[in-house]
A and B are shown apart, each in its own frame.
Chain A
Amino acid sequence: MNQLILQQGLSKELAHFPHILEFAHKKNNTIQLNSFSSNVADCICLYYILEGKFTWIIDSQEHTLYPGDFAMVLPGQCIGGQSSIMNIGALFWIKISTEDNGRLLLGKWSGLTKKEKVSVNQILLINKEQHVLKLKEAHALMHSLQAELQNEEVGFYTRANQLLDELFVLISRQFIRQNNSRRDFPQTFLKLEHALRQDLAHQWTVEEMATLIGMGTTAFTEKAKNYSGFSPLNYLINIRIAEATKLLKRNEVNITDIALNTGFYSSQHFSTTFKKLTGYTPTEFRKNKTTDQ
């Protein structure tokens, strides 16, 4: 029986890994009531199915998972078995704590660069409604991770964290592959536009935008320019000013907040950029509304 459940605080194997809250390789042979009741996650929960068929409700959506399927639940999302039971079968799961109240998914343990962490973060958040992926590559990876945690051979600390990084990179790439056919640029660009609008206050870089849709920076810039008529950053400024225009007309939010919410460094920066394009300062624009002569 190669069944294993490690829990932070109880299992000495996790003593070196404060960020791993739980690691399990479980074979479930019987159906028990309330064996998997629905609860809201306060960490990242990742599941990989080895055998059997599992029917789960993730964020009130029903999913049926088969071997090779991988499920991701982020902090704040809800997961549980249908009728609160864990089906018969075998699976891996791992629970990983986040930092900064769930805003930073990959903590200090990760060896990814700062930029890479930001990108992985964005990709996971943007695709968080998707929950389930085909990710056969995770199979070998989870086994290796189990071996590292159990055997504690030389270099196990670094190796285990590298495997976690690898897992997150795999998940991110798979999201991008599944969601971008690499055929339909308009569709892909529209998805990017949605992502930008969701977080206009973020100081987006071209590199981040390109990564989000799985393109290199140079190819993305050229394609975006050709398709939209704007460089990626100018396109973004365009959305920012359009959004700011809307907020100015609504008269509910003060100008400094509008500036910061729409991604300008300051109300001064907003004012200058806005006036350069429209001829009005934000204050004048708000006073004049639209129908004056």
Chain B
Amino acid sequence: MNCIIIIEMGTAAVKVFAFDLSGNLISSAKGHYPTFHEQTDHSEQDPEQMFITMLYILKNLLIEKIYPKKYTVSCICFGSSMHSLLAVDKDGVPLGNAITWADNRGKKEAADLKASALGEEIYKATGTPIHPMSSLIKIAWMKNNEPEKFGLAKKFMPMKSYIIQQLTGACVIDYSIASATGLMNIHNLAWDQAALDFAGITPEELPALHPVFYSGVTLKKEYQRVLKLSPTVKILIGSSDGCLATLGAGVWGNNMATITIEDSGAFRIIGDRIIEDPKQQIFNYLLTEKHIITGGPTSNGGVIFNWFTKQFGDFPKAFDIDQSMEMLIQEAATVEVGSGGLIFLPFLHGERAPIWNPNARGCYFGVNIRHERKHFIRATIEGILFEMYSIGRTLEKHRHIEGLSINGNFASIPLCTQMIADIFNKPVSTLSHGDSIGRGAFLLSATEMGIYPSLEEASKTVAMHQTYYPKPENHQVYAQYFKVFESLITKVADEFDIISDLQQRYS
């Protein structure tokens, strides 16, 4: 029997999935790697540790779970989080750690570029909003702030390219990951000259561009041997977490959109054309040259509720945050819709879409003497979801959306799913499979192998599990509170900059 292996290099962990050719999950495993914050705004990971962790997990899964069941691996496909950047020297040796999407060191470079006409030109060409998350800004930062390292660097690549290079020797990048670097022209599918000039690099310093279906690389024989894989096993370079999650969410056509909320979150739609936004609030990433994933990301998803739980939750069992969160969710469910008029701006991590302001900060507004902890719990959840709603409304200016599919551990909490339905006033479906990125990568691989005629057909096989319908009376309440939420953000815009500046200066 044949099987497909998916390797997903996520933000906090590598996940490896094994699917049979009908799409049944045979087994999966994860291995965690740490993120280091040596300075404020810095967020880094150790490339060798990520590679070794991936290899360890992959090898154990194959040898303990897959081979004993008599499966033969026919394809290995890669997924990964976006926007990471690693610089390597002439020998391919990393110059320090990889920088993750959450790193904000390039705040100044981003603000300057965004305020210029060049910024607008680059956004239009690359589809990536001008923000410190992008490789474009990170490379520009290195050029300005670490000239010595910048001089030694012979290649700049995302972590996924580094992992594939270790395994195969080839330095390649797929369209999905490339379209999120801020360096790829998504209209002509080549590295964008204006962006390269701004970053101060040439195309030779970047990996070779390939469609997500590219499979022209082979495993080094050492890895074939140690993983007991045949030389003919297909290595598919695959796509990004965001594009794969959208493919795996089954929202092709039918005016559907998908909401993912894990630690961070995103609102995404899939279409056959690039949507240009004069306000530069949304991204356009390529699943393929004909299939564009358009949407907006938030940095403040489940991670904010996690923060709240750590600060204010009860911990009957040491370190058992899941239990503590469950207890808080139960408490929140007893509070009326709208949390008694307590409104929360969830920008603890600054914010990306739609305001794209790294200086944004959190705020509880409207507190009165009758508010208790339970109101704060519910307000925190509603604030996170209101933010998702403002991203959704930005997209709705460009596309009519009738229904939503959700995934991610925060959005899938039943209380949250119902709130999403009520806030958006649209039916919201959960998926019958657990991991949309893994599912999306399976559908991509299976399509490449000819099991499905097209990605669209593959996406149609995604089954919805349960649909939550909106309660109009709740939507009515949310709609009024949302107006306050939205206007608050505009009104405290100046104070965001002032407080963030003071915080930087005095703490």
Question: Which A positions have Cβ atoms within 8 angstroms of B?
Answer: 181-185, 188-190, 193, 215, 219, 223, 227-230, 234, 238-239, 241-243, 245-246, 249-250, 276-280, 284, 289-293
Contact = CB atoms under 8 A, between A and B. Distances in A.
A215 B317 CA distance: 12
Contacts of B59: 277
Taking each of B56, B221, B315, which has the highest tally of chain A beta carbons within 10 Å of its own beta carbon?
B56
B56 A238 contact: yes
A190 B319 contact: no
B310 A228 contact: no
B48 A292 contact: no
Contacts of A250: 93
B138 interface: no
A188 B222 contact: no
A250 B89 CA distance: 11
User: Which of B55, B57, B220, B319 has the most C-beta atoms of chain A within 10 angstroms of its own C-beta?
Assistant: B319
A176 B222 CA distance: 44
B31 A228 contact: yes
A181 B310 contact: yes
B34 interface: yes
Given A183-B319, A229-B31, A293 B52 contact: no
Which 6 residue pairs spanning A and B have beta carbons closest together?
A279-B222, A279-B226, A242-B49, A290-B92, A228-B32, A182-B318
Nearest to B46: A242
A85 B25 CA distance: 70
B169 A290 contact: yes
A7 B46 CA distance: 50
Nearest to A291: B92
Given A182-B318, A228-B32, 19 more contacts: A183-B310, A183-B315, A183-B321, A185-B321, A190-B34, A227-B32, A238-B52, A239-B49, A242-B46, A242-B49, A242-B51, A242-B53, A277-B56, A278-B55, A279-B220, A280-B222, A289-B93, A290-B165, A293-B220
B30 interface: yes
A50 to B, nearest CB: 32
**Residue among B29, B92, B309, B313 having the largest count of chain A Cβ atoms under 10 Å:** B92
B71 interface: no
A229 to B, nearest CB: 4
B225 interface: yes
Contacts of B223: 278-279
Contact of B226 (A227, A234, A277): A277
Interface in B273-319: 309-310, 313, 315, 318-319
B48 A243 contact: yes
B48 A185 contact: no
Given A183-B315, A184-B310, A277 B55 contact: yes
Contacts of A219: 318
B171 interface: yes
B26 interface: no
Given A188-B319, A239-B49, A291-B165, A279 B30 contact: no
B152 to A, nearest CB: 13
> Among B52, B166, B226, which residue has the most Cβ atoms of chain A within 10 A?
B52
Given A193-B34, A279-B226, A292-B169, A242 B93 contact: no
Interface in B17-40: 29-32, 34
Interface residues on B, range: 35 or more
Contacts of B49: 238-239, 242
Contacts of A185: 319, 321
B142 interface: no
Contacts of B30: 229
B233 interface: no
Contacts of A215: 318-319
Given A185-B319, A243-B48, A229 B226 contact: no
B91 interface: yes
Interface string B438-471: 0000000000000000000000000000000000
B13 interface: yes
Contacts of A189: 34
A291 B170 CA distance: 7
A291 B318 contact: no
15 contacts: A183-B324, A184-B310, A215-B318, A223-B319, A229-B29, A229-B30, A229-B32, A238-B49, A249-B91, A277-B52, A279-B226, A291-B91, A291-B171, A292-B169, A293-B220
A82 to B, nearest CB: 21
Interface string B197-224: 0000000000000000000000011111
A291 B319 contact: no
A250 to B, nearest CB: 7
Contacts of A230: 31-32, 56
B310 A278 contact: no
A238 B94 CA distance: 18
Which of A215, A227, A238, A289: most chain B CB closer than 10 A? A238
Given A185-B319, A229-B30, A229-B57, A289 B92 contact: yes
A278 B222 contact: yes
A242 B225 contact: no
A288 B55 CA distance: 18
Contact of A290 (B166, B221, B313): B166
